[in-house]
Structure 1
């Protein structure tokens, strides 16, 4: 067909407009996406098949991607962790993420009792050589086949997640992603009722590799902390055209923050963590619902990762005789995010902590045995009486990588019955790196936290011998 130059220009302009705005309005219809308008079996298909599975699918609609469960729209309001599930359900959460399948049956049963669902994780190696090893690949096929046989029809199953951040430590290779795609195909042959995803540490190259080598995946899980605000723009500029789930998010990662002169990360107080959770959920998760089909906040529990409080939304190992876990203010924040309402009673507000009226970003160094005064700025939204528990710890000498196990550091001293927001103490006699924690408790099972790292050195010149990188999830 021949067009006059003016008409040619008009035709090209119209075509570009339709291309650009058509993709923006319905990203799931990208011509190179390989996606179907509906992914997964529908309720009528499941009933005809005579299975107890609750059907889950991802559909492409005019407004973008939509997750469905039992034929109804389902937006993931999820937690990462397997503890305090009743509290999660009461706060408005509807789904649980696991990183492996070791206790899949138990967590699926517990979730069903709370009307929640489970994204079941299937652990995959981070070692790229394993994906060239026939024995490893066969072992994973066999393990997966047994897992599917045992749990594919469980009513609480939401989807399967192949691997967690295999791109982080070297396995972001064509061989690895081809094997992920092979496992995804195996799942779909045995279980056509549930979507299959893989979880990555946020990164452009992994998305490009998934688009090229793992097209069977129904969605991608992305773990992002301080870079969560950049995730959508990053995805939109890659060849990957499918939906995504934010599978880990929360405060800034310990690799993303300012460090002391001797290389230790500075943790925000719990009030700042609340700000992060409210702002990021609204601006970086809910605002992208045309492509983001939900999220799992990290961590609904407690773990030691650089500190015992950094990612923890509960404190389960309080100093002293407190037997029960207490909830941090980030639990309140998620209650608000999921339900639109704050809980009836909220955790203490802890804004800052100082040593000798100096904040952590001033690189505090004390002489051995030097007396000092710590203070915490705290208040309670409900005017509850507050108690101050203090704990002095060494800094960890063995560091996990990519979320791997990290032993809890030694405790040198704790004061469990503090009535005032201040503490008079003496620095350890031995030179080294330390951190002072405060736990501000109300009378209703809540806690606010803060900590300050400091060094002890006769010369006040302690420096990092091996400063850790401030980029990368390490």
Structure 2
């Protein structure tokens, strides 16, 4: 158990949101009713989230927090509010008492302003922070613990958590020894298949309650297939919808006496290597097949809607795994093959983008890129003719397939332009 965390912490029933331990099982309660989390990361399309059986969202910062909380409450959705604490490795931050005090004041103001909002479920203090044990990090832990102590004192009605990337026994141990939070949360994607086994093997270390605050498809990071020039290869949205279902049903520890629920990533539209990689919706809020998967996972019922289904995409009769290299300023052809009927398709949007290489502090850019529209003819069908860019370098060609109901499917293929001169 956490140091300083007695069993009584999990049975303070007078609190609006609290965790109870009953007959060896941890249960989250909100307003004295059991609340098993069926959540999503993001703050868009909350009415649809509720219709599909979801009941919670997690957000990473406090931007427009009042608007997000009001919208969530209007849709009977609860919110885990992220407080974006500076990481322990930001040395100049934790060597500066004024910056530490400013961070503390800012979060104290937020907590006290919104602590009585009915949509608040928990506070998440930091996302994927590093929790090293070394004594050189004492200033970080002092600042971090001052924050969690402040929340426990000012808002005892909402538990405090933080997220750990994957299952990290060292960080779990440090959190128990050096911090005071109510439960641990995990962001875990490709390693979800080992999560259950890791939990079992480390019961001697920690046996408290937990959530999965991010889970989903593999991202554009180590372990994902790449081209020879290092461009990550993205699955089609049809493949992603199947992966969401398989991972949740096979690997999420739903039977665990300690598991309080999880949040699928990402309930909205965002740029991360591409604008489609994690996006369950397009920029206008139109749906991919992942929403049908989530309806089934959350309710056991099937959403009575169809979606375009993509079999594969090819450029010059080659797929993404074949390292497609093209010469500049040449006519080339791309083609999408469907699993579903072509009769249901209304439009196909073809776009070419430069590869998004930019990273800051080893994090992918979230800045949207502009398509190279001059290279692509408008109003093309399942086959498209395009002109390769004149400038050497890495690119991607995207196809977004819309049916007559506005539902969509996405795919893209990286290629490299190389001059023969």
Shared fold by TM > 0.5?
Answer: yes
Report deviation, 1:174. 5.3
SS at structure 1 position matched to 2:379? strand
Distance 2:2 2:214 in 1: 30
1:158 aligns with 2:158: no
Cα distance, 1:236–1:211 mapped onto 2, change above 3 Å: farther
* 1:141 to 1:423, Cα distance in 2 relative to 1, 3 A: same
Structure 2 alignment gaps of length 5 or more: none
- SS across alignment from 2:391: coil
Cα distance, 1:205 vs. partner? 2.4
Aligned runs of 1:408-427 on 2, under 5 Å? 408-413=368-373, 414-418=376-380, 420-427=381-388
Output one character per residue of 1:144-195: Cα deviation in whole Å (capped at 9) or x when no partner.
Answer: 2212221111111111100111229999955434533332221111111111
- For the residues of structure 2 that align with 1:426 and 1:332, how far apart are their CA atoms? 36
2:64 aligned partner: 103
Higher Cα radius of gyration? 1
Aligned residues of 2:28 and 2:36 also touching (Cα < 8 A): yes
Shift of 1:267: 0.6
Distance across 2 between alignment mates of 1:314 and 1:353: 20
Partners of 2:115 and 2:313 in 1: CA distance: 49
Structure 1 partner of 2:158? 194
Q: CA–CA distance in 1 between the matches of 2:3 and 2:85?
A: 28
Partner of 1:197, secondary structure, is strand
Question: Which of 421, 429, 446 is 2:390 aligned to?
Answer: 429
Structure 1, 141-150 or 299-308: larger mean CA deviation? 141-150
Structure 2 CA distance for aligned equivalents of residues 335 and 179 of structure 1: 41
The corresponding residue for 2:10 is 39
Distance in 2, Cα, partners of 1:83 & 1:422: 33
Q: Deviations over 1:119-159 (max 9, x none)?
A: 01111002432234322222222122212221111111111
Q: Matches of 1:173 and 1:231 in 2, distance apart?
A: 28
**CA RMSD in angstroms, aligned pairs only:** 2.6
Supply the distance in 2 between the matched residues of 1:313 and 1:196 (Cα, whole angstroms).
28
TM superposition shift of 1:219: 0.9
Distance 1:40 1:183, change over 3 A: farther
The 3 A distance-change label for structure 1 pair 104 and 39 is farther
Alignment check: 8 A CA contact 1:40 1:192 kept: no
Distance 1:33 1:219 in 2: 13
Is the partner of 1:149 in helix, strand or coil?
helix
Query: Whole-Å Cα distance in 1 between the matches of residues 128 and 30 of structure 2?
Result: 26
- Do the aligned partners of 1:395 and 1:409 also contact (CA within 8 Å) in 2? no
Q: Does 1:375 align with 2:335?
A: yes
The number of equivalent residue pairs is 412
Alignment match, 1:3: none
How has the CA–CA distance of structure 1 residues 167 and 133 changed in structure 2, closer, same or farther, with 3 Å as cutoff? same
Cα distance in 1 for residues equivalent to 2:124 and 2:243? 26
Match of 1:6 in 2: none
- The residue correspondences of 1:46-57 to structure 2 (distance < 5 A) are 55-57=16-18
Once the two structures are superposed, residues 405-449 of structure 1 have per-residue CA deviations (whole angstroms, 9 ceiling, x without a partner) of 43233411345523x321122322221111000001012121100
